[in-house]
Structures are given as C-alpha cells and as structure tokens.
Amino acid sequence: MEQVVQQIVGGLATGAIYACIALAIVMIYQAIDHLNFAQGEMAMFSTYIAWQLMQWGMPYWGAFFLTIAISFVLGYAIERAVFKPVHNAPVLSHIVIFIALFVIINSMAGFIWEFTIKPFPTPFGTKPVLGGGILSAHGAGMIAVTGIMLVLLYLFFRFTRIGLAMRAASANPDSARLVGIRVGFMNALGWGMAAAIGAVAGIMIAPVVFLEPNMMVTILLYGFAGAVVGGLTSPGGAVFGGFAVGVIENLASLIPHFGAEMKLTIALALIILVLTLKPNGLFGRKIVSRV
Amino acid sequence: MSTPLLSAKNLRAFYGPTQILYDLDFDMHAGGITTLLGANGAGKTTTLRALSGMVKTAGEIRFDGKLISNKDTADIVRLGVAHVPEGRGTFVRQTVEENLQLGGITQPAGQIAADMDLVFTYFPRLKERFRQQAGTLSGGEQQMLAIGRALMLRPKVMLLDEPSFGLAPLIVQEMFGILRRLNEKEKVSMFLVEQNASLALELADHAYLLETGRVVMSGPAKELSQDENIRRAYLGY
Amino acid sequence: MKTTSPVTILIAGIGATVITLAQNWKLSGFIFILIAGILFPLTASGVFTFQITQLLIYAIAIAGLNLLTGFNGQFSLGHSAFYAIGAYVSAILMTQFDMPFYLTIPFAAAVCFVFGFLFGLPALRLEGIYLALATFALAIATPQILKFKPIEHLTGGVQGLALFHMKPEAPFGLPLDQDQWTFYVTFAVTILMFFLAFSLVNSRSGRAMKAIRDNQIAAKVTGINLSLFKTLTFGVSALFTGVAGSLSALLIAFVAPDSFQITLAVAIFVGMVVGGVGWIPGAFLGALFILFVPNIAEHIAFGLAAFSDFVRGFIPFFPTIGEQSSKGLTGTVYGVFLILLIYVMPSGLAGLLRLAVQRLAQARG
C-alpha cells in the first residue's frame, strides 16, 4: 500500500511536468488553433539557453526570467519567419514545417552544446518535503510554478483585451479581422507565449531528466496524452490530465514487466483508450460545427 | 461636389483565377445610404469583401480619399469601415459582452462603456442577454449583435451584407427602422447589400443594380423603385 | 561488377522493337519497365542492386501512406509501426515456424491490415495535427513494444532476429545470386502492389476515399459510410507498408527494434510529400529523396565543417566544427532543405509536373 501511495505522490510530481506541457498544448491550440510539435524542441533549446546563461555566471532566477523573455522573442520570430509564408497552406505543409523545425532545433542544440548529458540545477533544493522522501522540494516547487503559471495565463486570457483578441483571432480569424484585429500578429504572439511556457516547462523538468537534446521528445508525448485525457479544449482539464498521466505512469510501473521501458507505450495506450471511450476527454467540450 | 466617402473605379475582383466583378464604378457620399441590389450570384457579397480587402482586386478603391485597394482587412477596418458580414460572423463561443468588447478592441479602453450604452439604447435586448453565449442567441438577436459590434468601432461607414437574411418580416422591419435611425442620428453612412429589394429601396437614397458582376443600372433609389424592369424582376409586380 | 552479356543485349533489342511496335503507350511503357527490371540486376553491381531494391521497398511503403493521407486525408506519422510489424511477422514466421519467405508476405499483409484497421478506430476521433501526434506516439512506442520482455522469446528482444542463413536461393537453379533474386522478388511484389494501388484509387471505393478527403460531411450525406471507409483505408494503408516491411526483412536479413524508429516514419511521410500527395507514381520519387538526400545533407554538413576549418586558418577565432558537431549540422541542413521544399514545391513533384502540364496546355491552347 505504501508503495502505491509513494508512486502516486511521485506521479504527481512528474505529473506537474506533463501538466505544464499539456497546458501549453491546449493553450496554444486555443490561442492559435494550431499545434506545433516542434514546441518540445523549442522548450529544450530554451533550457539550454538558461543553462548557458548560468554557465556565464548569471544567477538562477535571473537566467529563468531572461530565458522566458528570449524564448518569447524566438517563438515570435520563428512564426513570422518560417510559418507565416505557409499560413494558408493545407495542414500537410504545416506538418512538414513542424518536422523540419523539430529536426533543425534538435540538431542545432546538439551542434552548439553537444549531445552529452548535462546536469541542471534546481533552485528548490533536493531535500524531501513530505516525510518518507516521496516528494522532493523540487517536485513541490514544480507544482507551485505550474500552478502560478496556470493562474496567470487564465487571468490573461480572461481579463485582458489582448487575451480576448487572441481568443477571437483563433476562434474566428475572419471576424477578428473585421473588428480590426491583426490576426497574423496574434498568431505570432501565441507562438511567443507557447515558447515562453515551454521554457518554463523545460527549466522545471531538466533537473529531473537531465539536459540533453532528446529530453523533451517523450515528455511532449506525455503532455499530449495529458491534454487528450483532459480534453483538448479545456486548460483545466489539460492540467488534470497531465497529473493523471504522471500518476498512472508511476502506478503502471508497479506492474511486473512494465518498467521504465514501457512508459511510452502506456502513454500511447492511454491516448487510444480515452479516444475510443470518451473522445472529448474528461472535461472537453463537444465542438459542434455547422455545415 | 465633395469627395465621396467611399468609391470604386474599374473594380475587378477575383477568386483565384476566376473573375467575379467586372469594372465596377460607384461612389457614395458621407451621410448617405447606398444599396447594391442583385440576384443570387450577382457578386454583391464579393463587392463588400473587395471593399474590406478580403478578396484579391484590381482597380481602385478609395475611402475618405485614401487608396485602400488590397490593403489588409484589419487596416481598412481601423480607418473606420465596419463590415457586417454575410452570416453575421458572430463569435459564437464568446458572450454578448465579449462580442461587443471585440467590436471596440481597437478603440481606447475608456470609450467602451459609453459605446456599449449607446448600443443598448438601440438594441435593448442585447443588454438583457449581456452574459449569454452569443451562439445561443436567435437569428434576429445575432444580427442585432453584429450591427452593435460594428457600432462599437464608431465607424464612418457600415457595410451590411444581407442583414435581412433568414429573419422574420417583423424583425426585419424593426431592424431597418433602427438602421435608419443610426444613419440619421449617429451619422453612420451605410452601404447595404440586399436581396430584399423593396425594403432596401425604401431605406436607401441611392441604388446600384448588379448582374453577373457588372453594374447594369444606377440612380436615386426612388427612381429605381419605379423602374419597370426592376419592378418586374425584383419587386414582384 | 556484372558485365553485359550478348544475351542481355539481345533481350534489350527485342524489347525496343516491341515498344516501337506497340500502339498502346501504357502497354509499351509497362513492357519497358518490365524489361528494365529484368535486365537491371544482371548489369548492375551488387551494391547498386541492393540500393534499388531498398528504393522499391520504400516506394511501396510511401504508396501505402499516400493511400491513407493523400487519398483519404488522414495523417499518419506512425507508419514505421506497420513497417516494423510486417518485418517482424515475416521474421518470426521464418525463424519460429520455418515458413518459406514468399508465404510470409500474405501473412504480414493480413496482420498489418488488422492492426491498421484497429488503429483506425480511435483515429476516427482525431483530425489533422492531433491525428499526426497520435500516430507519432505510435511510432515512438513501437521500438519499446518490440523490446517488451514477455514476448522476447518471439521477437528476440533488443537483439532482434537474424535471418542471414534464411535468404532464399533462386529457384530452378537459375544462375542468380541472392542480391539479384531478392531484387526480382521485390520487383514482382512492387508491380503487384502498384497495380493494386492504381486499381483501388480508380475504383468506386477510391472515389469514396477521395470524397472523404475533400469534404467529410458532404461524403457522409451521399451515403458513404465514413467510419467503415476510414478504418478500411487505414487497414489497407498499413497492409501496403507492412508488405514493404516484410520485403525489407528479406533484404536486410535482420530485424531489430531500433531499426524502426520514428525517423523511419518521418522519412516515409516526407517521401510522400516530396513525391506528391495523392499521386501514386510519386512514391518512387519520394523514395529516391529519402534514400539519397540525407546523405547529401551529411556531405554538405561535412563540407561546411571543412570550410570552417579552412576559414579558421585565416581567422583564428572562427568556430571549429568538430566531427561530432557536424552530425548536428546534418540535421539542420536536412531541415532547411525540407522547409525550402515545402515553400517551393508545396505539392511535391506531382504539383510541379501538374504545373508544367498546365503551362504546356496553356501555351498550346
């Protein structure tokens, strides 16, 4: 029993990571009606930037916020430079662009910083928070940061004019233009925000999984699984889904043979299961589109 | 003769390689209501979309003396052109309040409350439905919301695409009455595209008739409403 | 290095005559391909034969994906999974059940059809990029599943299965070595599969598939059973790629989980886009791309590395690109290639050809 509890709490800690990514995925989808799966790689690249800043002597939180700012700019720039020309092309072209970005960013990271694994510092320390060593200080910190980010994003989209404009631009770009919203600019902002969210996620995750160019690939999938479980249209659901995936993954590792090697399969099975049984996820809204 | 508020010269419009409008000429002066009549497929909606920069055009479009052909829609809108599109273009997942806020999104924040109050004086029902999701409103209410949203822009000219479409006759009468008041009291010029020719000719002071992408007749609305051919083809008597 | 014998020249001559005599250009085109295929391994080196065999296999895989994405509008970045299943089915049947290779192909096809169909069921709920992501997950999970301990006795676990000793010899004592015979088998299967693909695409079912791709709701309204067609198409698509996988087991004589990584799925997808979505013959061009372009990218990367060393001779603080790092550059060059490709040729080679034909027609008319 104690093992189960241990796994659950540990699952919540890793789930915080997935929740972060799941949130990013859903927010991006809400904001720009697109999903860029090179985002994981962008998050990884941002984490390397943070690492480099710290290598050059910058204190942790300074590097944290500066990286967020840099990532925002980079995300914005990539959208304008690379994605904008194919904005009206069919989804297929978008997918190829995402693949290309994925490969480029992954390679560039390896090129600049090499493929060797690097440790990444945490500001929260590693001392256990709850008795029994189930939740480390870093794990608690991760959950806290995710929570803060969620609240800030919710407030932004709900109560600011730009947030409203972004939502409108993604929900109905034609009508958005007719009220004077510059939809292209909104899209670029969306990418910038996605990159910033990804940077936070990457910086939070790196101490746990260690910094290397391929660190985000599997995590992105877990995040996606979380987003699917929660329902692709619900930010709260995404966060819940992320935590759920973390817990389920840890619990599954208790089953014999389903060790660390089978984690991705679990994510896949989860996605398939949810999609077959409850396609809108646990909290998703059914989207009815009129013909 | 003062410069027209909105004018087009040799306007051609294309969907891809297909040409829809052929050398349209028209102009509209400030304060007026001009209507564009025509059957289905004549190109009326395309004309409005051309004015808003939503389709590829050749030729000249001028607003307030400035050339706006092929400019970005958002830029044209910010100059004071409010386009109430075919199908209303409501933000269905957002509330009535948010829809109106979006209408005024390019306006200074301090202005919004006063402008919303103005919208409510013309469309009291919108105030009742303030926090309701816009997609749940009836057709007539959505049309009012669309016009209200356009008003939030404090536009110089309103482009209306078939506002009577799909609405009950009583609602249409009510709405056209509101449009007249908006034109007279708020000084909003209007460019109205309509299939309901009799109502449109009653409201407008000037009219154009479009047939397969060309202007075939133009003149004061009163004249056109008494024209033999128009009466037979579009007014039904 | 095989030399051209008088016999092959004779055959070539007969072939040329047949072609010029044939009225029907499709028939003569087909005969030409047939003859070229027969002559090829007799006149080419073993290495080249191997490469072209691989090309044909990739073409079948790409054609399979094209049926699903190009003709039915469902994205898949997971076709490496079906390729792997096909390869493993053949390998397992050969090692565990002593089945001759040729017999394993229909089994691989059937198994892959079933898996494809089954995956098509949850796929019904996903569209566009979300389907791409779900299939991406499938591709990434595949090597893991293949390493799953409880089935290790079948799959050979991480080490996989070796088939070197099982490569079939040419029948009837024909004077062909294994490379050549493998080519002929692959060639025959390729012809069959592409014939099937063309027939499917031009049939009523093919039209239904395309209708679904173009406008699902409209298709449904005309009475097409969306769920059935979409899942069946998934199955057929998996079948094709599975057959390709099965042939690859024969060619490489070795299957292991790490041979079927996400890079393979991405390659097949990219090959489809390059060849042209919705155009079956494009598969060969796509296969050409994925076979040779990564090498080209690598060469460019090495070239850049050499260049930077050269420049360093003059500018001391110019960064060196070490050998390790040029690996990183390869990916970047490849990615940039891809982006340029999609800007310039969004519809792949098919689009380019279509444009050329259009221009020609305009010039003439």
User: Taking CB atoms and an 8 Å cutoff, what residues of chain C touch A112?
Assistant: 328
Contact present, B83 and B131 (Cβ < 8 Å): no
pLDDT digits (tens, 9 = 90+) for A200-235: 888 988 888 888 888 888 788 888 888 888 887 777
Give the relative orientation of helices C128-146 and C262-275 as an angle to the nearest 10 degrees: 140
pLDDT of residue A285: 67
Q: What is the CA radius of gyration of chain C?
A: 22
Q: What is the ipTM of this complex?
A: 0.90
Low-confidence ranges of chain C (pLDDT < 70): 1-10, 15-16, 18-25, 312, 315-327, 365
Joined together, the tokens standing for residue A107 give 């390679």
Which segments of chain C are extended strands (E)? 161-162, 254-255
Q: How far apart are CA C365 and CA C359, in angstroms?
A: 10
pLDDT digits (tens, 9 = 90+) for A35-52: 677 888 999 999 999 999
Is the CB of B77 less than 8 angstroms away from the CB of A183? no
> Angle A107-A113-A118 (CA atoms, 0-180°, nearest 5)?
115
pLDDT for residue A133 is more than 70: no
Half-sphere exposure (CA, 13 Å, Cβ side) for A267?
Answer: 33
pLDDT digits (tens, 9 = 90+) for A171-182: 888 999 999 999
Q: How far apart are CA A166 and CA A187, in angstroms?
A: 8
Q: Please state the separation of Cα C183 from the chain's center in Å.
A: 15
pLDDT digits (tens, 9 = 90+) for A156-197: 988 999 999 998 988 888 999 999 999 989 988 988 888 898
**Angstroms from C123 CA to nearest CA on chain A:** 8
User: Taking CB atoms and an 8 Å cutoff, what residues of chain B touch A165?
Assistant: 102, 105
pLDDT for residue A290 is more than 50: no
Least confident of A238-242, B145-149, C22-26: C22-26
Q: Return all residues near A272 (Cβ < 8 A) that are at least 6 apart.
A: C119, C122, C134
Q: What is the mean pLDDT of residues A272-276?
A: 77
pLDDT for residue A289 is more than 50: no
User: Taking CB atoms and an 8 Å cutoff, what residues of chain C touch A111?
Assistant: 321, 325, 327-329, 332
- Residue from B114, B44, B57 nearest B85 by CA: B44
CB pairs under 8 A between A and B: 63
Nearest to A224 among C137, C331, C343 (CB): C137
pLDDT of residue C237: 95
pLDDT digits (tens, 9 = 90+) for B85-132: 988 899 998 999 999 999 999 999 899 999 999 999 999 999 999 999
- Residue from B220, B208, B229 nearest B47 by CA: B208
Most A CBs within 10 Å, among B45, B105, B147, B151, to test the A interface: B105
Whether chain A has a CB inside 8 Å of the CB on B142: the answer is no
> Angle C279-C284-C285 (CA atoms, 0-180°, nearest 5)?
85
Q: Return all residues near B104 (Cβ < 8 A) that are at least 6 apart.
A: B111, B112, B115, B116, B152, B153
pLDDT of residue A85: 84
Q: How far apart are CA A186 and CA A190, in angstroms?
A: 6
